[in-house]
Structure 1
Amino acid sequence: MRTQPVLVFDGDCGFCTTSVRFAERRLRPRCEAVPWQFADLEALGVARERAEHEVLWVTPTGTVHGGAQAIAKALLSAGRGWPLLGALLTLPPIRWAAHGLYRLVASNRQRMPGGTAACALPSHRRQGP
């Protein structure tokens, strides 16, 4: 049984990877961050299609939060003042705005700093090594 949450992200996306590495260095969320491409999605109870679509926060008990709420959970587990921001992201109407902003960023991640054209493609259409 897992003892800490797992943050599942797209390891092929430069923007996603850069964002997670930044969070690990600066925010220090208490979780294991794993690219979905290397995660045991079945053991986590996550469908591949969902992992391709959004960042996920999987609790040790198997509850899955996606998108902006996954980010909120990561912030809630971090140190310093980050849990306050995480808590705000769970409250309506901020929650609704965060969801819209997350979808906007996720849909345009190839245009974000660190993003590449591959970020815009579904995994089955990405060039492999």
Structure 2
Amino acid sequence: MAEDIQRDPVLVFDGDCGFCTTCVNFAERYLRASLSSGGWDAVPYQFADLAALDARAGGRGLVTVGRAEQEILWVTPSGAVHGGARAAARLLLRSGGPWAYLGAFLTLAPVRPLASAGYRLVARHRHQLPGGTAACALPRRARA
């Protein structure tokens, strides 16, 4: 895995959340099937070496437990860190094929604020969505 982390982006997600895990399982099954532009790794933040991923990002505190509890994180081999809707867009772009068009759409300037608002809405209510459980609820400080 350490070798893969060096050459592939890493998607960090909340492994305790059933909704998040269901989404990542979907991505691994369907997005990897269309993979044409390189791989990616998905790892629950509970099992990720967040300190190493943050060090890759320059040790700026961009990869933390607090952030990973609230949003997915996409950490590139070069150290760029994208969270939330931008992370989802990067995943779609990396997956290639028709998914890349959706990812590109999400990165358009007029769409980014809407995508971010939609992501925050879903994240805030993920415990109420299919596959979600009480364990999926964001920490109280993140729900405000």
Q: Under a length normalisation based on structure 2, what TM-score does the superposition of the two structures give? A: 0.82
The equivalent residue for 2:118 is 101
Aligned mates of 1:95, 1:79 — CA distance in 2: 20
Q: Deviations over 1:37-92 (max 9, x none)?
A: 00000000011111111000000011100000000000001132111110110112
8 Å CA contact retained: 2:69, 2:138: no
Q: 1:53 to 1:121 in 2, by over 3 A?
A: closer
Deviates more, 1:79-88 or 1:64-73: 79-88
Asked if 1:10 is matched to 2:14, the reply is: yes
Aligned mates of 1:51, 1:80 — CA distance in 2: 28
For 1:108, the aligned partner's letter is H
Aligned mates of 1:83, 1:19 — CA distance in 2: 17
SS in 1 for 2:7: coil
SS in 2 for 1:93: coil
Aligned mates of 1:105, 1:121 — CA distance in 2: 11
Identity over aligned pairs, percent: 64
Aligned mates of 2:102, 2:113 — CA distance in 1: 14
Aligned mates of 2:81, 2:136 — CA distance in 1: 23
Runs of 4+ in structure 1 over 3 Å off = none
The equivalent residue for 1:20 is 24
The equivalent residue for 1:127 is none
Q: Under a length normalisation based on structure 1, what TM-score does the superposition of the two structures give? A: 0.91
Can you give the 5+ residue segments of structure 2 that lack an aligned partner in the other structure?
A: 55-62
Aligned mates of 1:10, 1:55 — CA distance in 2: 7
Asked if 1:60 is matched to 2:70, the reply is: no
SS in 1 for 2:11: strand
**Matching residue within 115, 123, 127 for 2:132:** 115
**Matching residue within 84, 87, 93 for 1:70:** 87
Can you give the 5+ residue segments of structure 1 that lack an aligned partner in the other structure?
A: 124-129
